[in-house]
């Protein structure tokens, strides 16, 4: 039993801090949103379009909190809209982590 708890703890620790607040089903939806909706400007493969490239390589070294803020509030003076009406803060942070680590 103690072993199982330890294993579960390890799994929990390995996930991004915010992962606990995004369900696996919602994570699937977010992955789809990134690909399709972010993709309308940033490209299906995040390699850029009207918006800049947002692949892990292009975002290397960026702070996930900053990225979450940009996702939620947009970038004034550019075409990047704020997604606050459609995403929670946890979801924006999940997307930031996802963009930094995953090849969509």
List residues binding other proteins (CB under 8 A).
Answer: 36-37, 39-41, 43-45, 47-50, 74, 79, 81-83, 85-86
Is the alpha carbon torsion for 63, 97, 29, 57 positive or negative?
A: positive
Which residue, 19 or 53, has its beta carbon nearer to other proteins? 53
Distance of alpha carbon 84 from alpha carbon 69, whole angstroms: 9
Which residue, 15 or 44, has its beta carbon nearer to other proteins? 44
Place of tokens 């919602």: 26
CB of 37 to other proteins, least distance (A): 5
């Amino acid at each position: 039993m103690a072993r199982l708890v330890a294993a579960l703890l390890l799994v929990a620790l390995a996930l991004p801090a915010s992962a606990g607040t995004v369900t696996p089903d919602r994570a699937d939806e977010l992955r789809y949103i990134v690909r399709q909706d972010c993709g309308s400007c940033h490209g299906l493969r995040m390699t850029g379009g009207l918006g800049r490239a947002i692949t892990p390589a292009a975002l290397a070294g960026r702070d996930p909190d900053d990225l979450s803020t940009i996702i939620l509030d947009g970038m004034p003076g550019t075409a990047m809209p704020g997604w606050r009406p459609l995403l929670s803060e946890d979801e924006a942070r999940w997307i930031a982590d996802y963009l930094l680590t995953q090849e969509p």
